[in-house]
Structure 1
Amino acid sequence: MKLKFFKYQGAGNDFVMIDDRQQTFPISTKLINRLCDRHFGVGADGLILLQNDKEFDFKMVYFNSDGNESTMCGNGGRCIIRFANDLDIASENMTFTAIDGLHHGIVDNNVIRLQMIDVDEVEDHDHYLFMNTGSPHHVEFVEKVDDVDVYNRGKEIRNGSPYFEKGSNVNFVEVMPDNNLRIRTYERGVENETLACGTGITAAAISAYVKNLVDKKSIEIKALGGDLSVNFEENNHKFVNVWLNGPAVKVFEGEIEI
């Protein structure tokens, strides 16, 4: 059969998007892995299904490029907001469900805004921080992020103590003189460095605030694939009204034999 797909990217974090409102997509690890393969398929960091939801505008189902359903993807969430708006499924203000709960999205011209989940707990260790921003994230601050061997160091941390089998995404963050951040991320499930990671960028912004490395709650972050921003509020050591903001654009659409 022929499968119609769409390709979207947010700051270089790219996704195969499927309009699955009829729920006809034949979910299989092998198929999703092949579609995400950059040599034998469409090529992407992940695959996202847009499905109907009884209460909200739609439902987001996210798979990593290894073919396994995964936790929340921030840039994927921003891309599905653009996708839903492009398909006229939702207006410029929308609500949708994902694996981590309810999300709000806003299409503001070229900026796509995604409200992330509240962050109730931040583990502040000597050399790193850990939190769940919809996906688990290990955050380390470094002096020069360009000098980090992200693939090997990230892989070691992702598979080592205390994460082991469940693993964690791993972020290396540099604080710039203007109190903004630069970031590089090793993504679990992709098992490599990606050009951007929305939940990781969110974790980095909150981590910098917790460590008193920045003195503001609206932070610009430069990833390899582009510039994003995070803004949030703090309430009794919890982080609420967390928004991830940045570009999300359609790259192309097509059909592929499956």
Structure 2
Amino acid sequence: MQFTKAHATGNDFVLVSDPAGVQDLDATFVTAVCDRHLGVGADGFIRAVAAHADHEARRLLSAAGLGSDDAAPVWFMDYRNADGSAAEMCGNGVRAFVHFLIAEGLAELSEGDELPVLTRAGIKTVQKVPEGYAVGMGIWSFIDPELAAERGSDSLVKVAGLADPRPGLSISMGNPHTVVALPDGRTLQRLDLHTAPTVEPTPPHGTNVEFVVPGDPLVTEGAGRVRMRVHERGVGETLSCGTGACAAAAATRVWVADDGVDTWSVEVPGGVVTVTFTPRADGAEDVTLSGPAVLVYTGTLI
């Protein structure tokens, strides 16, 4: 099996091309490939499969009200966490996925043009931009709107490196996130994310946990700034998380009541991504994630 290693702000992936949907991937195989000592090593595994050739992709298209003959995404991003579990969506992974499709000659995308991609969290639109790729992430929402509106948090988070539990705010970006605010960079640095933080109550499908420190100043020339570390479900700490960066920016806007700031720079250990919010007529907000993607090397799994 031919593969490509790629990363997007340090969030790294093994990608394989399977247009006809003939590769049978199980959790044991994915875990072995993603193992950093005994395999290639990656935060996630992505299979590029033609949507019409995959049973799950056809079901997802049908759920979106599209058939295989409609003006629908050609490519399904079959994304698996490093532990082999299927995941709904990965914002960094989508950028790496599109960069891979272009390199493989499976898609074309000129600057300013858009390419639809099918994910388990729905259809995402990717645009080529000067800094890499901008992904239309859809709307963000509270996992528990009632508690979020009442007190700005819905859970308590315990993590190694902090003596006391901290309040967290759980946000959906198509996948679940719980965001925790910290006072300064030293507190962020001393966290031990080798083990998963404890979130009580835990969202129904588990959660990724982001720890966020506001920039100083928080807003410069109309744009907000935050720093972030993240523990991802089924992976552990990663250098970046695209959907997590969106959730972190959304939570920060809630806490500071500053939804007039629509552009946020999110600094992660692997680099910087940009999150942009666009209001909709129904009161919800669309989120766009922008950042680079890099192909590292290709190889053969034997």
TM-score (norm 1): 0.90
> 1:18: which partner in 2?
16
Matches of 1:4 and 1:146 in 2, distance apart? 42
1:228 aligns to what SS in structure 2?
strand
Aligned pairs for 1:88-127 within 5 A: 88-92=105-109, 93-121=114-142, 123=145, 124=148, 125-126=152-153, 127=167
> 2:267: which partner in 1?
222
Which amino acid in structure 2 is aligned with residue 247 of structure 1?
P
Query: Sequence identity of aligned pairs in percent?
Result: 30
Matches of 2:97 and 2:228 in 1, distance apart? 23
Matches of 1:209 and 1:60 in 2, distance apart? 30
Q: Gaps (5+ residues) in structure 1?
A: none
1:210 and 2:229 equivalent?
no
TM-score (norm 2): 0.78
Aligned pairs for 1:1-258 within 5 A: 3-53=1-51, 54=68, 55-92=72-109, 93-121=114-142, 123=145, 124=148, 125-126=152-153, 127-148=167-188, 149-151=191-193, 155-157=196-198, 160-163=199-202, 166-179=205-218, 180-190=225-235, 192-212=236-256, 214=258, 215-235=260-280, 236-240=282-286, 242-257=287-302
Matches of 1:140 and 1:213 in 2, distance apart? 16
Offset of residue 156 of structure 1: 3.0
2:202 aligns to what SS in structure 1?
coil
Matches of 1:38 and 1:156 in 2, distance apart? 22
Matches of 2:2 and 2:296 in 1, distance apart? 14
1:141–1:174 CA contact under 8 A, matched in 2: yes
Which amino acid in structure 1 is aligned with residue 183 of structure 2?
E
Matches of 1:198 and 1:131 in 2, distance apart? 13
1:88-127 deviations in Å (ceiling 9; x for gaps) = 3222220011001011001224411111021243642343
- Bigger drift between 210-219 and 31-40 goes to 210-219
Matches of 1:176 and 1:120 in 2, distance apart? 24
How many positions carry a matched residue from both structures?
250
CA RMSD of aligned residues (A): 1.8
Dislocated runs of 4+, deviation >6 Å: none
2:266–2:273 CA contact under 8 A, matched in 1: yes
> 2:60: which partner in 1?
none
Offset of residue 237 of structure 1: 4.2
Which amino acid in structure 2 is aligned with residue 97 of structure 1?
L
Matches of 2:137 and 2:25 in 1, distance apart? 26
Offset of residue 239 of structure 1: 1.5
2:193 aligns to what SS in structure 1?
helix
1:81–1:106 CA contact under 8 A, matched in 2: no
Cα distance change of structure 1 residues 62 and 199 upon mapping to structure 2, 3 Å threshold = same
